[in-house]
Every structure is written in structure tokens, then in C-alpha cells.
Amino acid sequence: MLRRAKELNGFTIQATDGAAGKIRDIYFDDQDWIVRYLVVDTGGWLGGRRVLLSPVAVAETRWDDGEVHVTLTKSQVEHSPDIDLDKPVSRQQIVDLHEYHGWPAYWGGSMMMGTATPGVYPMIMAGADQVEEDVRQEGASETYRGDPHLRSARTVSGYDIEAVNGEVGHVEDFFVSDVDWVVRYLLVDTRDWLPGRRVLISPQWIEQVDWAETAVHVDLTRAQIKESPEYDPEKPPRREYEIKLYGYYGFRGYWRAS
């Protein structure tokens, strides 16, 4: 099922031996549009420290209870490598984080994160060890440079949506698959331009993202977006709606085998 990213905000992280904090944000990869990390505020337990947890560590998400159960202990979370999230997350910090937890390396290629079987992580992808070694050999200036593809959903919410013939709305939220943690849609609020409408746009239809200008450019016209199948924001997107949406724009659905 597809879920709004903002739904996760405030969810409790349940470690194997108790509550370990609450989710405050997600970080996604702007190349593959996959959620790479949950940003967890440990609250009073660790004095408000924020840590990054990979979806690989998620055993179960209980949406009705507002809980995300992970395959980690509170101690493992507590001793997770320190990362200052007020600054760009460096590539070296990411390597250290994955080595500490034994998580698979995703850099150097696309990898769906998925939901982990408790205590079992997918095999580290081929070539990852070489990527890690390359990172270590690059020197301080490169190694500690922020990862240019890791983006905060909280920050990107509010970015303008630019159609080929002008602005048409802004990013309100993201829809994420609760199975493989792929960002399937941007929820776009067009009410200032198209009163009363919210629409969905797939990352596949994005031409480019201007991070400096906080704008998402899509290869669609304002008229196309205006006449797109109406979306009910009170319900998660169902396959019937997705088929209609992709058919309207003339794109092949992501659920179809290539």
C-alpha cells in the first residue's frame, strides 16, 4: 500500500527491548527516489539526540498503532555513530553507519530497501566494498563532503512545481510504498492555481529538480495537470486510480513487468 510520508512523523520506534524514539523526518535518494533513512528523535532517553535508521532494520510498521518495529536493541540505537543532522550528511558518516549496523551498502547503484526479516539483512551488493574503499582513499575534502543525493522530505515539502508553461503548485507530501520504501508520487497542492485540486505526479515525470531555486520541473503542461484524473486526498491511491492516471499521461505503469 502507498502511504503519505507525513503519516510517519511522530510514529514511535519500537526496538526489541522498548521504545527508542519518534520519527521526525525521512531522507530519500533524489536519483532513485528511495527512502534511505528514517530520522529518529530519541527524545528524553538520549537527551534529544537524532539518529538515522535504515528501512532495512524495519521488521514491521503498525500503521494503526503509530509504531515502527525495528530489529535493533535500544543499545544499538544509542551507540549508533554520531551524525550532526543540522549539516549535510557526509559520505564517510554513511559508510560508518552502515558498517556499524551491518546494513547493506546501496551506494554505487540502485537498491530497493524493503522490509527486513528480523535479524537478517540482504547481502551487500556487488562492488560496494570497492566503493567504500574509494571513499576512504579520496581524502578529507571529498570523504566528508555532504552526500548530494540525500534529501529531507520535510525540506522538499513546499518546493514549487514548475510545468513547461509556468508554476502550477507546490509539493505537499510524498507517497511511499510500505513494502519497498520507494517514493511513488509527489502530492501536489494546486489550489492557488487550480482551486480545490490536489494531484499526484510520479518522480518518473520529473525533468529536473532545481535545488538552489527550490523548484521541481515536470515535462507536463498546466493544462495536462489541470485535466488529470481527480485525486481524493482522503484516501491512499489505489491501483484502479493509478491505472487511470498513467493511462491519462500515456506512461507505462511502474507495476508492469519490463
| pLDDT, averaged across the chain | 83
DSSP state letters, 79-99: TSPP--TTSPPBHHHHHHHHH
pLDDT by residue (tens digit) across 212-242?
A: 899 999 999 999 998 899 888 888 899 999 9
State the pLDDT confidence band at 49, using cuts at 50, 70 and 90.
Answer: confident
Please state, in angstroms and rounded to a whole number, the distance separating the CA atoms of residues 250 and 243.
Answer: 10
Q: Which residues contact 216 (CB under 8 A, 6 or more apart)?
A: 159, 160, 161, 162, 171, 186, 206, 209, 210
Q: Which three cell numbers stand for residue 218?
A: 515536470
| pLDDT at residue number 12 | 96
Task: Give which of 182, 188, 152 is closest to 168, Cα–Cα.
Answer: 188
Write down the CATH number for the domain with range 2-151.
3.90.50.10
pLDDT at 159 over 90: yes
- Write out the E strands in 125-221: 150-152, 160-163, 166-177, 183-189, 198-201, 206-210, 215-218
pLDDT by residue (tens digit) across 6-41?
A: 999 999 999 999 999 999 999 999 889 999 999 999
**Residue ranges matching CATH 3.90.50.10 in the chain:** 2-151, 157-249
AA identity, residue 6: K
pLDDT by residue (tens digit) across 92-123?
A: 889 899 999 999 888 755 444 444 444 333 43
> Which one has a higher pLDDT value, 122 or 89?
89
To which CATH superfamily is domain 157-249 assigned? Photosynthetic Reaction Center, subunit H, domain 2 (3.90.50.10)
**Mean pLDDT lowest for which of 35-49, 122-136, 217-231, 240-254?**
122-136
How long a stretch of residues is the chain? Answer: 258
State the pLDDT confidence band at 78, using cuts at 50, 70 and 90.
Answer: confident
Query: Is the CB of residue 17 less than 8 Å from the CB of residue 74?
Result: yes
The model scores a pTM over 0.75? yes
Within 10 angstroms of residue 116's Cβ, the number of other Cβ atoms is 20
> Which one has a higher pLDDT value, 88 or 9?
9
| pLDDT at residue number 153 | 95
State the pLDDT confidence band at 58, using cuts at 50, 70 and 90.
Answer: very high
